[in-house]
Amino acid sequence: MFYLKDLLPKIKDIISKELGDRKVYDKDVALALDINQPTFTTMKNRGKIPYNEILDFCAQRKISINWLFYDQITKSLEEETEKYANVRYFSDIYASAGGGALNYDDKHEDLILDDHIIQKIGGKSEIKNIDSLNVLGDSMEPTFRDGDIVFLNRTLNDIHKGGIFVISTPIGLFVKRLRLKIDGTLEMISDNPSYTTETVDASSVEIVGKVVGSVNEF
């Protein structure tokens, strides 16, 4: 368990460098944390840590909060952090059986991916271009199952070479294998042989992105 008195030596050391290496008092810490002095004194006596104020203090000075609390070296944290990345996950949006257009203003969560998945869906350089959403229904089985999460790259929208894409149509979102025909029509192919191939005018659909990977629901 941490107490404020445990963190004060480090905080005072940081402040002393800003004040010209002079002796730093509790009132200086209170000022740096933007806490009035009587409140700071009470918190110190009770061992209460002003987490929000300390987080702001560290953020303004680009100081690792892990170093302040745990003495963890920043370089080691960077190396571990590089193993993970976040992508936007639209958990309330479904593709395959239709479910409305994909609105990027919709509420989304951050899906944390490890390096193994990151490499499979294009690598760190492509993460900024990737979103994820849910598959609904069995039309793409066995490739994707109901409840799977698919990753789509928004910058990969060239359908001339085919592939599996998330597309927006007047009746909703679909994840389908696409084949562009010479007459300008587009075949929307389901991997499940129980479903027939649909043919639409290519100009009537919007290519949201190419599917670059998937994971089972968790």
pLDDT of residue 158: 92
Domain that holds residue 207: 84-215
Looking at 43, 78, 113, the residue that finishes a domain is 78
Whether residues 117 and 193 fall in one domain: yes
pLDDT tier at 152 (50, 70, 90 boundaries)?
Answer: very high
Whether residues 51 and 99 fall in one domain: no
Whether residues 34 and 115 fall in one domain: no
For the chain, the domain total comes to: 2
Q: How many CA atoms lie within 13 A of 78 on its CB side?
A: 5
Q: What is the pLDDT of residues 110-127, one digit of tens each?
A: 887 877 788 889 988 898
Whether residues 135 and 44 fall in one domain: no
Give the least confident one: 6-20, 90-104, 158-172: 90-104
Looking at 78, 97, 129, the residue that finishes a domain is 78
Which pTM was predicted? Answer: 0.61
pLDDT of residue 100: 46
Whether residues 35 and 110 fall in one domain: no
Residue 72 has pLDDT above 60, yes or no: yes
List b or e across 174-189, with b for residues whose CB sees 16 or more CB atoms inside 10 angstroms.
bbbbbbeeeeeebbbb
Distance CA 11, CA 27 (A): 12
Whether residues 98 and 159 fall in one domain: yes
List b or e across 95-105, with b for residues whose CB sees 16 or more CB atoms inside 10 angstroms.
bbeebeebeee
Give the least confident one: 40-49, 95-104, 107-116, 123-132: 95-104
Distance CA 41, CA 124 (A): 46
Q: What percent of the chain has pLDDT over 90?
A: 36
Whether residues 211 and 151 fall in one domain: yes
Report the SS3 class of residue 134: strand
pLDDT of residue 115: 79
Whether residues 66 and 106 fall in one domain: no
Residue 98 has pLDDT above 50, yes or no: no
> What CATH number has the domain bearing residue 90?
2.10.109.10
pLDDT of residue 32: 92
Looking at 18, 45, 78, the residue that finishes a domain is 78
Whether residues 175 and 202 fall in one domain: yes
Mean per-residue pLDDT of the chain: 84
How confident is the model over 44-63, as a mean pLDDT? Answer: 87
pLDDT of residue 174: 92
Whether residues 131 and 148 fall in one domain: yes
Whether residues 106 and 211 fall in one domain: yes
